[in-house]
Structure 1
């Protein structure tokens, strides 16, 4: 299926609302509970999503001004930011996540048609147009909403988003086995999340 900029912007907004709605008001003990990601608590996950918004703001700035501003100065800086964020209290984490998301949304809303066509480089070294930025954010907030283990499931995410995500993951992973499953299960499997597909091969981590 084709994915339009308007789709990505809508999914970015709606996924952000879902993620922040799940984490707002969590007790400290619930922040300290394990997420679905190995060795990460929910506190780590919220710090990661907040830092991701800050990093994507760098790409929006790049697109808007032409000034080269990488997402992260280094992989080490990225990891250190998450670890430092995981030491914050719940209210501090939520304030950071909300502020970073709001800034990113505002900056994306200010891009002109020509700026959306500007090329930027992702943290993985891929050169993409700025129109990929809201899609990158939508993937983060929707998938990590499920990773929070607070009730969100792939089956509850927009079907069109799941189709787009499935195509995106397959494009990046390369050829994958043909596994019979419904769309939410297949997307969970493709993204390396628990899927209930006991006979499907392990594809390894993604995102």
Structure 2
């Protein structure tokens, strides 16, 4: 079970602020801006907004079922249903995207806001975890996909708490034969993985987190070394998705 040492109220505040930023950035977009490319290959901003809508609805229903003592698959129709819904909604106009995103975010925030303290530990289907895991997942998705919109809020804006959370969550991307010693400038090192091949990755905290998340570091400060020699950044395993493709 995931631990949240700062308490659910901190996560709720992060969810509300992340959702507000998504809506703030979507507010001035016109149809042409929605159809423009995002930073994700093959995805427009419309695809990103459609995904934000989808993950918000998905996590809302995880909570809604959990409060009844039930579980339900993350997306209706599984991974294929997720993909089909994104493709269907991606081409919508800006006004429709704003309405859909607002409705889905409102549903998700209301679901998490309604939780009693003990309900954060209720079981969900997402990653065979608990409601807290769903809340953290929504936080990750909102923050990272806000950066994917390519609208002035890149990974350099990610908070220290968010970056350190990504270090923990994305340890699953370390290849089995590696361990990474992450050395954020001005902060203690963090070791991920247990393999024999060690690589030190140093740079700004946000750049290391962006690289682990498969995004382009904004500040270009990364350096990798092994046995005191500069080396290429090591490969990463796939994102630890909670929805498997069939």
TM-score of the superposition, structure 1-length normalised? 0.90
Determine whether 1:40 maps to 2:43.
yes
For residue 2 of structure 1, report the CA deviation from its aligned partner. 4.3
CA contact (8 A) 2:72 2:125 kept: no
CA contact (8 A) 1:57 1:107 kept: yes
Alignment gaps of 5+ in structure 1: none
Give the Cα separation in 1 of the matches to 2:153 and 2:238.
20
CA contact (8 A) 1:9 1:135 kept: no
Task: Give SS of 2:152's match.
Answer: coil
Determine whether 1:160 maps to 2:161.
yes
- Find the partner of 1:183 among 205, 220, 226: 205
Task: Give SS of 1:179's match.
Answer: strand
Determine whether 1:121 maps to 2:125.
yes
Alignment gaps of 5+ in structure 2: 181-198, 224-231, 242-246
Residues 135/25 of structure 1: CA separation in 2 closer, same or farther (3 Å cut): same
Determine whether 1:103 maps to 2:107.
yes
Which residue number in structure 2 is paired with residue 54 of structure 1? 57
CA deviation vs aligned residue, 1:87-124 (integer Å, no higher than 9, x gap): 211100110000110111111111222322111121xx
For residue 201 of structure 1, report the CA deviation from its aligned partner. 2.9
When structure 1 is superposed on structure 2, of 57-66 and 190-199 the one drifting more is: 190-199
Count of residues paired in the alignment: 203
Higher strand share: 2
Within 5 Å, give how 1:1-207 maps onto structure 2. 2=5, 4-72=7-75, 73-122=77-126, 126-170=127-171, 172-174=172-174, 175-176=179-180, 177-195=199-217, 196=220, 197=222, 199-203=232-236, 206=239
TM-score of the superposition, structure 2-length normalised? 0.77
Residues 33/205 of structure 1: CA separation in 2 closer, same or farther (3 Å cut): farther
Task: Give SS of 1:119's match.
Answer: coil
Residues 56/105 of structure 1: CA separation in 2 closer, same or farther (3 Å cut): same
CA deviation vs aligned residue, 1:48-68 (integer Å, no higher than 9, x gap): 000111111110012111132
For residue 25 of structure 1, report the CA deviation from its aligned partner. 2.1
